[in-house]
Amino acid sequence: MSRPEILFPLFADLETLQGVGPKTAQAMAALGVARPKDLLYLLPQAGVDRSRKQSVRDVVPPAVVTVEVTVGGHFPPRAKGPYRVMVRDAGMEFQLVYFHARDDALQRLLPTGQKRLISGKLEVFDGIAQMPHPDHVLRLEEAYTLPAFEPVYPLTAGVTQKQLAKAAASALARAPKLPEWIDPAQKAREGWPDWQAALLAAHGPKSVADLAATHPARARLAYDEMFAHQVTLALARAKMRRGKGRASQGTGALQARVLASLPYAPTGAQTRALAEIAADLASAQRMNRLLQGDVGAGKTLVAFLALLIAVEAGGQGALMAPTEILARQHAEGLMPLAAAAGVRLEVLTGRDKGGERAEKLAALAKGQIQILVGTHAVFQKDVHFHDLRLAVVDEQHRFGVAQRMELGAKGEAADVLVMTATPIPRSLALASYGDMDVSVLDEKPAGRKPIKTALIATNRLDEVTAHLARAIAEGKQAYWVCPLVEESELVDLASAEVRFAALRAQFGGKVGLVHGQMPPAEKDAAMARFVAGETAVLVATTVIEVGVNVPNATIMVIERAETFGLAQLHQLRGRVGRGAESSTCLLLYQAPLSESAARRLKVIRETEDGFKISEEDLSMRGAGDLIGTAQSGLPRFRVADLETQSALMAVAQSDARALLALDPDLTSARGQATRTLLWLLDQDRAIRLISVG
């Protein structure tokens, strides 16, 4: 399937545009502009009022003003001063000021006695009105070329406003009339223009109001990006579902044994999520579901019960964790549940070698191991399941759409359930996981007490260590998380070692240390000592952010808390408050706090609701930062803004799914138009997914 001919001019070299030479083309790469069509989506970010005034008297300087003037005398600089040109408009006389100017060029630009239209910033210097380096000096017959409201484009080194405006105009002249891909009823309801008209309006704003994201032209272009992205995700979802699934119908017998062994009943949210998963497993289509839960919402129990459905149906289940520590911890936590159910659960990580590994692989291939927990080692070439029905992946983040597809290929039609402990705002969940169905756990299990969170300035460190000493005497345990220094592991390590030495001097052998530079075996050993209660304080860099579970740990100290992001603070705090005891989180900060740091710490102190925290995080930091764009598979939109236009994303998702339900191969008129959009917005992956071009 090849690119439609109607788009060829937009995919030509940049140098085919007016005013773009090799140097400018190279400089434009920094703006993400490689072809004419990229300029269409580089929209003005501001505008300057260039409407004509009678006289500079009509404005209060400093201000941009556009007036017709008669050019007076030229005054070349004496010594190092500027070059001055006197001009007079309808009301008064003022000076144009040029630094480092060439006399002959200025004589040609501003001949004495002639009329010119000038536009620039008027300032008052030593009581004299002057305009340094006017932006525009035009002959009266050229005056019509200056718009009353001039768009201002984002720039980069080596590209001027004039060059960009000229290149954008040249690219716009190539924008063809394209067949419509938006649903006609929706387009009419929103009052959106056609694609070509939307581009012209977005590049030719008449006032500041035209620059708003809500303006119909901009909203339409933003929607196009979201729609193209959601069509890609919907195609991926359809492909996943087209792959023959296998119906796995549970009997409920093993689940009942586990639930009977628990001291508490599952929450309503857990029961609801499990019902959604069970329905997916029972259907012949392949499951591709995201289980999203806040810290401590009980995702692991839901995942384990889902794995038991696969076992009840006569198959096997696998649970994949991102790190060795987490894989082993999941296994330890699940062993008692597996014992209650009477199923065999084993762990497989990169550390299993030789005979032990061979024995596990043989048992797995024979179907004697019903549930396998491990790292990505679970999916190495030599690992063969007897009948893998369900793969559960923990901590999605490091796992984009491409990896999800790869994983689905491993089991003969295995269902996939992804768990993430990162509450993501709905708009981002739709952008990152739009190809999946989502179950949300938004209730805390019974018996969890709220965590007390306090802010303490670093100069009160003694009070904190005194509090710690009392807690240790009572047999409690604490985490002490050291600051993130310049994102450099080695500097982080130095700060952790200094803190470790200081606490060790006070508490002796009761203090352990764990950091990213340690060999995995040492890290596990330090964690194991803490879990067993041999150490009372664990000093750590952020390696403990995800998943570590020590119910007896009731104190979390986060040093230099202002250096952490909201999501990280929320994840770290979630490491305590896991037992029946009430817990405390102490946020140590160094005064004075910046405005954004103060706001982050205030949010953390006031709420434990991860979804609320994530919405706040999104509004403070923006989408790209929130989940680290590069590895998250989060789209990079040129016009659309995930924070302010999240409602459009939801519409785009339902519209994309509806279109594909009616026209799975995009062969109808609207389907063909949508293919053009996918080419236009570089959705190459989607194009590969359309079965036959």
DSSP letter string, 119-159? EEEEEEETTEEEEES-SEEE-GGGGGGS-SEEEE----TT-
pLDDT band at 633 (very low <50, low <70, confident <90, very high): very low
Task: Please give the structure tokens belonging to residue 248.
Answer: 């796995």
Residue 29: its pLDDT value, please? 87
Cβ-based neighbours of 524, under 8 Å, separated by 6 or more: 324, 325, 328
* Distance between CA atoms of residues 483 and 495, nearest Å: 7
The correct answer on CATH 1.10.357.10 for the domain covering 51-146 is: no
Highest mean pLDDT among 512-526, 628-642, 658-672 belongs to 658-672
Contacts of 57 (CB under 8 A, 6+ apart): 91, 92
Average pLDDT, the chain: 84
Range list for CATH 2.40.50.140 in the chain: 51-146
- CATH of region 451-607: 3.40.50.300
Within 10 angstroms of residue 235's Cβ, the number of other Cβ atoms is: 25
**CATH 3.40.50.300 intervals, the chain:** 253-441, 451-607
Strands 115-125 and 63-75: antiparallel
CA proximity to 689, closest of 669, 660, 668: 660
Instruction: Give how far the C-alpha of residue 215 lies from the chain's centroid of Cα atoms, to the nearest Å.
Output: 24
| Least confident segment among 53-57, 221-225, 445-449 | 445-449
Specify the range with the lowest mean pLDDT, choosing from 45-54, 148-157, 320-329, 395-404.
Answer: 395-404
pLDDT at 155 over 90: no
Mean pLDDT value across residues 122-143? 90
Residues 6 or more apart whose Cβ sits within 8 Å of residue 256: none
When pLDDT is cut at 50, 70 and 90, the band that residue 450 belongs to is confident
pLDDT band at 627 (very low <50, low <70, confident <90, very high): very low
Can you spell out the DSSP letters for 465-492? HHHHHHHHHTT-EEEEEPP--TT-HHHH
CATH architecture of 253-441: 3-Layer(aba) Sandwich (3.40)
The pLDDT of residue 629: 36
Read off the pLDDT of residues 6-41 as tens digits, 9 standing for 90 and up: 999 999 999 899 888 899 898 898 888 999 999 999
